[in-house]
Structure 1
Amino acid sequence: MIAALIHSMVVCPDMEKTYPKISHGEGSYLYDESGKRYLDASSGSAAVSNIGHGNAAIADILKDQALKASVLPTHAFSASVVENYLEKLVRFAPKGFKRAWTVTSGTEAVENAIKIALQYQQMTGRDKKHKVVSRWFSYHGNSIFTLDVGGMRFRRKMYEQWMHNFPHISPAYQYRNGDGMSEEDYCDQCINEFLEVIQKNDPDTIAAYIAEPVVGAALGAVPPPKDYFKRIKEICEAYDILFISDEVMTGFGRLGTPFGIEKFDVIPDIIAAGKGISGGYFPLSAVLIHNRIASVFESQMTTFKAGHTFACNPMGAAVGNYVLDFIEARNILANVNEQGALLRERLNELKTLDIVGDIRGEGLLLGIELVSDKLTKEPFPANKDVSKRIFLNALERGVILYPGKGSADGINGDHILVCPPLSINKEEVEFLANTIRESIVLVQEELHQLIL
């Protein structure tokens, strides 16, 4: 049985299906061994291949760095390639960020971010602060600890005996949770819930709050109401709670800003980054901390109590450095805003289709929610596999999408995440949008026939 081409977070590979084998990639496309071309509108799995496939310059960089040094005994040495990269990474971050280090996965980055929040609270005399508030329907990593912090119930279920049940609040998901409310009233409701959870759990025990600026694969590119994060940050500051922005999916230009949280005019305390940080060419992630956090460690001459075998390795630094240069040289942020606006415009046209309930997202992280009744927003039953059907239909037509499930109640509810490489061009956007429409229309017709 061969491995799946795509392993969605919520749609597992079909164990009885033979998947195409990819031979190579170039730009926005992947090619299978038969020569068929696929526009990679999931950017790997997912929102990873931000700068496209088959980049020869990165291949040369990896070779050159491997011939120099691939890993260091970091307890004894540093390297200019690492230090220069971390300095550039901090400059890329929002104003006031001062320190950074790299690890190898988004899960590690999030766990390190939470660990440093706890250590900071202890160093500042707030020993009782240990809880992390997050949101239901969120994904923050696949270790036991980050699954507990995250809010995907079906992923947590098997490990309930190991869960410590950190506090969770509702996702800021107005399409599902704020029916009939103005955006302002719905935002008030979300903020009041956050305040209630803080009080219920004792503010003196809350160490950190974590969220994705736009919820990625778990819900299909759900953005918050206007001013939501500004108000969350004000509350965090009032209660000495650190704000962690999970930028594993939204960082490095995905939303049209260097980091996604900047789209909402908020400067967090800690950033956990990954995926697009290396464009998929090396397992790389990072933690970045603001000066208000770093200064406490510096004043007490204390190091962060953690370590990983491949932390701050030269290979990752060399690749990460190239990606930052690529973003600047190719004017990627402007391209994301231009092509993202075009793609959003074309996807908005899908709202006329019977099964398309919502189109949402920012930049080149866009989502399509699928419903059986647009008026009531009734989801399709999980066993209909609507998002998977659309994914497979698009795949036949040469487009790779990222299907998801559970957006309505954790089990039912279908959505499609659309997150192509940030270097995508207008012609590719048009092909992508046309193929998505064709695929949805065909599945819609199939569903109508089943009802008849």
Structure 2
Amino acid sequence: MSEKCHVFPRDFTQDLPMAVKASGIYIYDDQGKEYIDGCSGALISNVGHCVPEVVEAVCEQLRRLEFAHTSRWSNEAIERAAAQVASLAPMGMSYVWFVSGGSEAVESAVRLARSFYLERDGGGSQKHLIIGRWNSYHGSTMGAVAVGGNIPRRRAFVPMFMEHPKIETHYCYRCPFSLAYPSCGCACAKKLEEAIKRIGPQYIAAFLAEPIVGSTVGALPPPDEYWPMVREICDRYDVLLIADEVMTGFGRTGENFAVDHWSVIPDIIACAKGMAAGYVPTGGVIVKDAVAEVIKKGSGAFPMAHTYCGNPVSGAAVEAVIKYIKAHNLVKNARVQGELLGSLLKELEEIPIVGEARGKGLMWGVELVADKATKRPFPRKLKTSGVVTRECMRRGLVVYPGGGMADGVDGDNFMVAPPLTVKEGEVREIASRLKGALEAASEAVRVGA
């Protein structure tokens, strides 16, 4: 009899394989089986696993200085990391606040929005609400869940937080307004102005959105007009624009940041995941100079801190990861290999359960449907995305499943997002394994239904 495991897992009903080592785009279990990490963990491992340059940088920092609390010290590692982040950020965004992950980054971003108006308006501002979107995910802390709109993740905890207003997201495959692009005039973006006017701009601090919707819907890109329109609306009503680039940042979509696809400069960017690429838990907030200067010239202090924010080991990881991205031209590789991956995934739309493949760069999603003509989703009880995930694992491919996006209950999708180091042959192998998994899952759910 094996010893009892004392880990409190995500799901007691799952019997997961034991990961023991990794290299490049591959992970190996304790039976010696090789898996392609086709989703970079959770779109984290942007530079691949166990890269020597990053590992050595982290180890060297641990030997030199492992911790120095930011209430008493600055440190060189975090200053170098901030310079590297700023070198990739949109123009005029040169200040970086470091935290330990995406949820903390979003919490920091929304508190910074509130702090900005308090500082600017002499402490009397009523601006405190953050407009979010349905079918969005911004983290697991109470504040992040409150501004997010992922129904399955928030339903049980609604009584425990202050609600923030929501608008519909850009979901052209299932347009919430029953319109068609482009004749719709990008109604989803216009809903932001409607919400601001209805609530009152004097109460709205920021609009928070993912440039490309991640796990909630599955790599959902917006119409090209969307982000320029919301930028203009925010400017018109004195509302800050916060881009949640936790998944999309640091080259994932084929640009440094996803907002760069539309030449839009947010006021605040929340980031994490690919920032340190999984080597050390790290997140951050990139701040427009004009916003930071208001704090700097006002009280000079931002009342938000965590024990590990700005720790030197995270700084070493961030610096090494960004240098590696630059040295190996990984943003371009994400763009080039992403075009190939997208074309191969589009071919899989011929499979009966595949409704749509969509994405940008090396961030692609596949939506699963019971009926292609009507786009009818599978009932949640079938857990179709889980069926696909298991078939992929049997074939040595890891994908990232999601669900509930069709109506808050039903709907299945998964993401394919390999490390930015992926090569052409590996992209084709991913598509081949995925095709086999989808064909098997298609037969399995048809029998199960």
TM-score bucket (shorter structure): over 0.9
Q: What is the aligned partner in structure 2 of residue 29 from structure 1?
A: 26
- Verify the 8 A CA contact 1:367 1:417 in the aligned structure 2: yes
Alpha-carbon distance between aligned partners in 2 of 1:293 and 1:306, rounded to the nearest angstrom: 16
Structure 1 position 61, deviation (Å)? 1.7
Q: What is the aligned partner in structure 2 of residue 78 from structure 1?
A: 74
Structure 1 position 237, deviation (Å)? 0.4
Alpha-carbon distance between aligned partners in 2 of 1:101 and 1:151, rounded to the nearest angstrom: 25
- Paired AA for residue 304 in structure 2: A
- Paired AA for residue 251 in structure 2: G
Listed as ranges, the matches of 1:60-139 within 5 Å are: 60-125=56-121, 127-139=125-137
- Paired AA for residue 67 in structure 2: V
Q: TM-score, normalised by structure 1?
A: 0.95
Structure 1 position 179, deviation (Å)? 7.9
Give me the identity figure in percent.
Answer: 35
Structure 1: gaps of 5 or more residues: none
Q: What is the aligned partner in structure 2 of residue 300 from structure 1?
A: 298
Match of 1:53 among 46, 49, 52: 49
- Paired AA for residue 25 in structure 1: A
Q: What is the aligned partner in structure 2 of residue 145 from structure 1?
A: 143
- Paired AA for residue 206 in structure 1: I
Match of 1:19 among 2, 16, 26: 16
Q: Secondary structure of the equivalent of 2:186?
A: helix
- Verify the 8 A CA contact 1:49 1:421 in the aligned structure 2: yes
Structure 1 position 98, deviation (Å)? 2.1
CA shift digits 1:193-243 (9 cap, x unpaired)? 212211121111000000011000111011111210100010000111000
Aligned pair 1:347/2:345, yes or no?
Answer: yes
Q: Secondary structure of the equivalent of 2:15?
A: coil
Structure 1 position 60, deviation (Å)? 1.9
Structure 1 position 180, deviation (Å)? 6.6
Distance 1:145 1:421, change over 3 A: same
Alpha-carbon distance between aligned partners in 1 of 2:338 and 2:277, rounded to the nearest angstrom: 18
- Paired AA for residue 251 in structure 1: G
- Verify the 8 A CA contact 1:187 1:228 in the aligned structure 2: no
CA shift digits 1:71-99 (9 cap, x unpaired)? 11322221222212212211210100121
Q: What is the aligned partner in structure 1 of residue 369 from structure 2?
A: 371
- Verify the 8 A CA contact 1:242 1:269 in the aligned structure 2: yes
Most deviating of 48-57 and 16-25: 16-25
Match of 1:251 among 242, 249, 252: 249
Most deviating of 434-443 and 291-300: 291-300
Distance 1:382 1:115, change over 3 A: same
CA shift digits 1:293-316 (9 cap, x unpaired)? 122123335121111111111101
Alpha-carbon distance between aligned partners in 1 of 2:117 and 2:81, rounded to the nearest angstrom: 28
Distance 1:50 1:258, change over 3 A: same
Distance 1:18 1:188, change over 3 A: closer
- Paired AA for residue 339 in structure 2: A
Q: Secondary structure of the equivalent of 1:172?
A: coil
Listed as ranges, the matches of 1:167-186 within 5 Å are: 167-177=165-175, 181-186=179-184
Alpha-carbon distance between aligned partners in 2 of 1:175 and 1:217, rounded to the nearest angstrom: 16
Alpha-carbon distance between aligned partners in 1 of 2:240 and 2:158, rounded to the nearest angstrom: 26
Structure 1 position 157, deviation (Å)? 1.8
Alpha-carbon distance between aligned partners in 2 of 1:299 and 1:145, rounded to the nearest angstrom: 27
Listed as ranges, the matches of 1:154-303 within 5 Å are: 154-177=152-175, 181-300=179-298, 302-303=300-301
Q: Secondary structure of the equivalent of 2:86?
A: helix
Structure 1 position 342, deviation (Å)? 0.4
- Paired AA for residue 386 in structure 1: T
Alpha-carbon distance between aligned partners in 1 of 2:159 and 2:445, rounded to the nearest angstrom: 40
- Paired AA for residue 402 in structure 2: G
- Paired AA for residue 26 in structure 2: Y
Alpha-carbon distance between aligned partners in 2 of 1:59 and 1:224, rounded to the nearest angstrom: 36
Alpha-carbon distance between aligned partners in 2 of 1:419 and 1:187, rounded to the nearest angstrom: 31
Q: Secondary structure of the equivalent of 1:186?
A: coil
Structure 1 position 401, deviation (Å)? 0.7
Match of 2:330 among 329, 332, 336: 332
Aligned pair 1:381/2:379, yes or no?
Answer: yes
Alpha-carbon distance between aligned partners in 2 of 1:412 and 1:50, rounded to the nearest angstrom: 30
> May I ask how many residue pairs the two structures share in their alignment?
443
Alpha-carbon distance between aligned partners in 2 of 1:281 and 1:433, rounded to the nearest angstrom: 27
- Paired AA for residue 113 in structure 1: A
Structure 2: gaps of 5 or more residues: none
Alpha-carbon distance between aligned partners in 1 of 2:183 and 2:5, rounded to the nearest angstrom: 50
Aligned pair 1:434/2:427, yes or no?
Answer: no
- Paired AA for residue 147 in structure 1: V
- Verify the 8 A CA contact 1:368 1:415 in the aligned structure 2: yes
- Paired AA for residue 391 in structure 1: T
Most deviating of 152-161 and 371-380: 152-161
Listed as ranges, the matches of 1:374-413 within 5 Å are: 374-413=372-411
Q: Secondary structure of the equivalent of 2:21?
A: strand
- Verify the 8 A CA contact 1:2 1:19 in the aligned structure 2: no
Structure 1 position 448, deviation (Å)? 3.1
Q: What is the aligned partner in structure 2 of residue 444 from structure 1?
A: 442
Structure 1 position 281, deviation (Å)? 0.4
- Paired AA for residue 80 in structure 1: E
- Paired AA for residue 135 in structure 1: R
- Verify the 8 A CA contact 2:69 2:308 in the aligned structure 1: no
CA shift digits 1:348-402 (9 cap, x unpaired)? 0011121111111111110000111111100010111111111100100000011
- Paired AA for residue 19 in structure 1: L
Q: Secondary structure of the equivalent of 2:405?
A: coil
Structure 1 position 16, deviation (Å)? 3.9
- Verify the 8 A CA contact 1:255 1:336 in the aligned structure 2: yes
Structure 1 position 48, deviation (Å)? 0.4
